[in-house]
Amino acid sequence: MAVSRPDGQISEGSDGFYHGDRRGLSLLTAHAEDVPNAPISGGPDSAEHASFRTVLRGLAEHSPDPAVTLERRRAVEPGELSETITLHNAGLTGVRVRLTLRAASDLASMETIKSGRSVSEVPWAQEKDGLSWSDGEMTARLTCTPAPDAVEQAPAETAELRYSIELGARESWQATVRCTIEDEKGEAFRPATARARAEFASGAALATADRGLDHWFARSCSDLRSLLLADPLEENDTFLAAGAPWFLTLFGRDSLWAARMLLPLGTKLAAGTLRTLARRQGAVSDPATEEQPGKILHEIRRDGLHFGDGLSVPPCYYGTVDATPLWVTLLHDAWRWGMPAEEVERLLPHAESALVWMDEYGDADGDGFLEYVDSTGRGLSNQGWKDSGDAVRHRDGRLAEPPVALCEVQAYAHEAALSAAELMRAFGRPGAERWEEWAQRLRVRFRERFWVEDADGPYPAIALGSDKQPLDALTSNIGHLLGTGLLDEEEGRLVAARLAGHHLDSGFGLRTLASDSGGFSPLGYHIGTVWPHDTAIAVQGLVRDGHHAAAESLAAGLVKASVSFDGRLPELFAGHGTGTDTRPAPYPAACRPQAWAATSAVTVLQAVLGLEADAPSGRLTVRPRMAAGYVPLRARGLRLGEREFEVAVDADGTPRVSGFADGSVSVEASGPAQ
C-alpha cells in the first residue's frame, strides 16, 4: 500500500510504500526546480490507483493560463509501487525543466511508525539500474526509466535523482519509477490472487435516490477487493485484512465481523475466513500467547508487536474474548445465506470446540459469564473490540479492574449457543438441548446482574468488574445486544431509546461513550469517537428487533458522514456531532480504508431492505421498512447461495425481487407498514 500527501508527495509522517508490515519507501517526491510548483488535483482513482497534477508556473506561458504541468500516476500491487511521471507543455514555446526526484527508505516497522518514534534512514546504494536499501532481511529497489542524468547524495541519507529536460512546444516527456520489495522472511499472509479480487462482489451495484449511499457502497466494494488476503496454507481461502495502514493482516474479530456484514454479497469470503481461522484454532494452553483449546485467535503479525512500557504481543496472539463466539455465529449465518452444507458440516467440530472454550475457558471462574484477564502481564488489558487501556470504565470515569465480563460478549455467547443448537439439529449432531439451556441460563443471569439505572431509567452496564459489580458507563456496546435474543421486548425498547438519545447518537453515528459520562472525549479512541461498524451493528440489531425509527436515524447519520469522507469511511472519527459540526472531524491515526467500516455500507443496505435469508429452507424475506429516504432503489448482485438476485423498491415502497423465477426460492416481500 502507498500513503501520501494530497499532492502525491511521499514525504512525512506515516507516508510511505509498505509491504509486510514494513516501510519500503519513506520518501518519494518530485519537484521542478526554480519555479513555483502549484498542486491542483490529486487523490485515489480506485483502491489500486491514484493520480496527481501540479502546475509549473511561469514556464512557456503566453497568457495568464498555465502551460506546463507535472502529472504523476501511481499504482500499487503486491510488492511493487510504480509511478508514471509526465511533463506536458501546452505552450507555444519550448522550455527547459529541471526535475528532481528525492527518495529514501527507513525500512521501519509498522509499530514504530504508528508510535511516532523517530527512525533513521537506511543508507542507499547505487546499482547499475537504480538504487537499493537493505537491512539484510528486506531490500527495496528503485529503478527509473529513462535513467536520471545524475544521482547525488543529499542530507539524511536522501538520494536525489536529477533530470534536465528539453520540452518543445506541444511536447510531452515521460519517465517510469518503480519500487520493488525483496523480503527474505516473507509475509504472514499474501494478497489474494487477481482472480479472487476480480470475483469479489462482482456484479454488486446500488442505485438509489441517495447518491451518498451509492458512492459509499461502490467505494467500499472497491476498497474491500484490495484488502483481500489469502491463507498461504490454502490460497483459495480468502479473508479481509482489518485495515490500512496499521492492521493489514488477519484479525479474528475484525475479519469475522467483516465477513458477516458481507453475507448478502455471497458466502465465499465467510467460508474462507472461517477455514483460515479454524486452521489456527487453539489446541493447547500456552500462557505466553494466551492460546487455549478451542479459542479463536486475535491477530497474526510478521514479527509481533512491541508497544513500549513493557507491552508486547507475540506474532500469533490469542488475547481476545469475543472472536470465538463470533466464529460460531458466522458459521451459522453463512449457512443461512447459502454456504454449501458439506462445507458447513466439515467445520462443525471446530464449532463444538469453540463452545467448549466458551463454557470452560471463557468462563474461568465459573460464574456463568465470559470474561477476560491478560495472563501475560504485557498483552492487551482489555480484550473486547474496545481494547484500549481506558475503554472500560465506570460512569464517573474510574477504570475497570480485571477480570472483566463485557455486556456484548455475553450477547455474542448467547447468540452463538442458540446458533450452534440450530446447526446441531440440522446436521443430526447431539447437544442442541444443552446449548439452548446454557443460553437460557445466561439470559437470566444477564438480566439479574447487568442492568443499572439512572435518572432516565434502566440500561445495561458496559461490563461487570473484578468485584462482579456493574461498571455503569453508558456506551455504544449496548447496541450489540439487540438482535441476539438476549433481551426481551421491553429491554430491547429501553436499549433502542438510549441509542436514539442525544448523548449516544451524534448525528453521524453512535458515540462509543455517552457524552455526559466521566472521561468522555470526542477524540478518545474508545471513549467518545464514532466507529461506523459499531453503529452499523446497532442498526442491524434495531431492525431485527423492530425499532425501525431509531435504525433509520443512525443509518442516515452514517450515510451523511460517508459523504464527508468521499465514500471511504475511516475506522473511526471524532464524536463532536451535528450539534456543533457540519461534517465529522477525522481521527488522526484512523485506518482508512478499514474493513468493517467499508462493510458497514452493506449492513446498512441490508437493514434498509429488511433482508433475511433462510437458504436451507429456500426462503428469502424482504421488508423495506426504512427505505423511504432511498427510493426508488435498485440493488444488483446480491446472492443467496449460488443464486444471484436483485431487489428493487419503487417510490411507493413496494419491493420487487428478481432472480428466482424457477420457484427454487420462496420470496416474502412486503412494503412499508400501514
What the chain holds in terms of domains, given with CATH numbers, is 2-183 (2.70.98.40), 244-261+275-591 (1.50.10.10)
Euclidean distance between CA atoms 250 and 65, whole angstroms: 50
Helix/strand/coil percent split, the chain, to 5: 30, 30, 40
pLDDT < 50 stretches in the chain:
674
Euclidean distance between CA atoms 606 and 213, whole angstroms: 12
* Strand ordering across the sheet containing 205-207: 205-207, 633-640, 643-649, 655-658
Specify the pLDDT at position 674: 39
The answer to whether the beta carbons of residues 179 and 142 sit under 8 Å apart is yes
What would you measure as the largest C-alpha separation in the chain, in angstroms? Answer: 85
Euclidean distance between CA atoms 368 and 447, whole angstroms: 13
The pTM of the full predicted model, rounded to 2 decimals, is 0.94
- Three-state secondary-structure class, residue 603: helix
Euclidean distance between CA atoms 622 and 426, whole angstroms: 24
DSSP H or E segment with residue 328: helix 323-336
Euclidean distance between CA atoms 139 and 477, whole angstroms: 44
Euclidean distance between CA atoms 257 and 251, whole angstroms: 10
Specify the pLDDT at position 639: 97
Specify the pLDDT at position 620: 97
Q: Which residues pair with 161 in a beta bridge?
A: 101, 151
Q: Cell digits for 590?
A: 484512523
Euclidean distance between CA atoms 449 and 442, whole angstroms: 10
